[in-house]
Structure 1
Amino acid sequence: MPLHVIGVGLGRTGTYSLRIALETLGFGPCFHMEEVARNLPVQLPLWNDVMDGKPDWPTIYAGYESAVDWPTACFYRELNAAYPDARFILGVRDPRSWAESFGETIHKITFDADDPPERFREWLAMVRRVILRSGIPADADKDALAAAFVAHNDAVKAAIPADRLLVYAVKDGWEPLCAFLGLPVPKEPFPRTNNREEFWDLIKSLS
């Protein structure tokens, strides 16, 4: 089963909400970093191979119709080559707002955790590699984080053909997403989830 929709927005751009939205629209299941964390024995070696230049996309995404979030977002060029018919969604938000959200969540658990649970140490090591590969320094201040965020977004827009790329803010809801995918707008409200408090609740549930 090939991927039909690939989200290449960095974490903290509404990727969890987008995941639920895509599944609601029929592009499920949707691959997310949570899938890696909940299935480390299988997924961690696969992603370490990707980081070492030996991707096995069909195995990683077996059974999934879409993917969002890191580590997927780090490999937009490779996935564009592997899935030339897929549509891409670049999640965006105000760069400064993103930097503050990322700095208080993903950056904190990835680079500032003093003593993470042993079973997550290899996972966090892989996550650090992904984030660094995305052009985000480990010791970046808010200005440097915002600049890295803009650089990623610009690189995606340069790499993915415009007719297959939606630059999208989840705050805009169903309409632009459904127009891009050629689908009717659902009657149910657009999902809004994984704010900072929910992020830490999710992390606790993985421990």
Structure 2
Amino acid sequence: MHVIGVGFGRTGTLSLKVALEELGLGPCYHMREAIASPDHKRLWLEAAQGGPVDWDRLLGGYRSTVDWPGCYFWRELVEAYPEARVVLTVRDPERWYSSTRETIYRLSTWVARVAAPFFPTARGMAAMTDAIIWNGTFGGRFTDREHAIGVFERHIREVRAHVPADRLLVYDVREGWEPLCRFLGVEAPRDRPFPHVNDRDHQKSKIRRARVLVGSLGASLALATLAGMALRRRRR
């Protein structure tokens, strides 16, 4: 492990993932990797519930990690990989909260309330994100704006107090390549702009697709139920 990203989701973590991979510090672990793997969802959930974690097993093959679920275990990762550089992505707290509520919180709510009853993988995702993010990080009070922003700001203070300054970069992805590459000791790409990846529209499109999918599934189940009722009546 060469780079540990300890910033909350929606602070440019996806942009940082892409940037690290372009710099040769990938593959980079992100929530997307956790969602894609049923085994990983289970392992992260067990870790959040206090179970033992073999970090080399969970993150084996990855040279960097950003976003949740990794940032929830930032203290453990910083200790487990003492040679790794630590990047704390930051953002205006008010803008961070609005972005998070509009995207990943809304999507998580849909998954938990609508998709989870139908799909086992959605149940696993809902259990993991609840344990690590909405309950684990925000104590079940994310919708309390003041509380959530307080958690966000306290996290930044705690990281800065815990990680030695020469090992830590406090970083706004709008700063681009230069501070990141200087900190990592690598040359900044001259022919590629910094990858500012804004996935808000992507998150919203996933919510729309989830509504269509679950709506279609619900209609199919309703039709199947009506057909079954009609068949039973005929048999009588």
Q: TM-score, normalised by structure 2?
A: 0.80
Aligned to 1:153: 156
Aligned to 2:68: 70
Higher mean displacement: 94-103 or 52-61: 52-61
Structure 2 CA distance for aligned equivalents of residues 64 and 202 of structure 1: 26
Structure 1 CA distance for aligned equivalents of residues 12 and 196 of structure 2: 8
Aligned to 1:144: 147
Matched, 1:88 2:86: yes
Structure 1 CA distance for aligned equivalents of residues 198 and 19 of structure 2: 13
Matched, 1:183 2:186: yes
- The alpha carbon displacement at 1:139 in A equals 4.6
- The alpha carbon displacement at 1:136 in A equals 5.2
- The alpha carbon displacement at 1:7 in A equals 0.4
2:11 equivalent among 9, 13, 24? 13
2:3, 2:84 within 8 Å by CA — same for their partners in 1?
yes
Structure 2 CA distance for aligned equivalents of residues 45 and 8 of structure 1: 21
Percentage of matched positions with identical amino acids: 44
Higher mean displacement: 55-64 or 153-162: 153-162
1:50, 1:56 within 8 Å by CA — same for their partners in 2?
no
1:46, 1:56 within 8 Å by CA — same for their partners in 2?
no
Amino acid at match of 1:125: A
Structure with greater helix share of residues: 2
Aligned to 1:125: 127
2:44 equivalent among 36, 44, 47? 47
- The alpha carbon displacement at 1:148 in A equals 1.5
Amino acid at match of 1:138: R
SS in 1 for 2:32: helix
1:136, 1:145 within 8 Å by CA — same for their partners in 2?
no
Structure 1 CA distance for aligned equivalents of residues 162 and 115 of structure 2: 36
- Equivalent residue pairs, number: 203
1:200 equivalent among 199, 204, 208? 204
Long gaps (5+) in structure 2: 214-236
- The alpha carbon displacement at 1:101 in A equals 0.4
Q: Alpha-carbon deviations, 1:26-85, whole Å to 9, x = none?
A: 101000010011112x21221122113211101111111000000000111111111111
Structure 2 CA distance for aligned equivalents of residues 136 and 96 of structure 1: 19
Aligned to 1:116: 115
Amino acid at match of 1:122: G
- The alpha carbon displacement at 1:202 in A equals 5.7
2:29, 2:59 within 8 Å by CA — same for their partners in 1?
yes
Aligned to 2:31: 33
Q: Which has the larger radius of gyration?
A: 2
Structure 1 CA distance for aligned equivalents of residues 92 and 42 of structure 2: 34
Higher mean displacement: 8-17 or 191-200: 191-200
Structure 2 CA distance for aligned equivalents of residues 28 and 6 of structure 1: 12
Aligned to 1:101: 99
Q: Alpha-carbon deviations, 1:117-153, whole Å to 9, x = none?
A: 4221121111111113223543533222222110111
1:136, 1:148 within 8 Å by CA — same for their partners in 2?
no
Long gaps (5+) in structure 1: none
Matched, 1:162 2:165: yes
Structure 1 CA distance for aligned equivalents of residues 108 and 22 of structure 2: 30
Higher RCO, 1 or 2 (CA under 8 Å, sep at least 6)? Answer: 1
Structure 1 CA distance for aligned equivalents of residues 159 and 8 of structure 2: 11
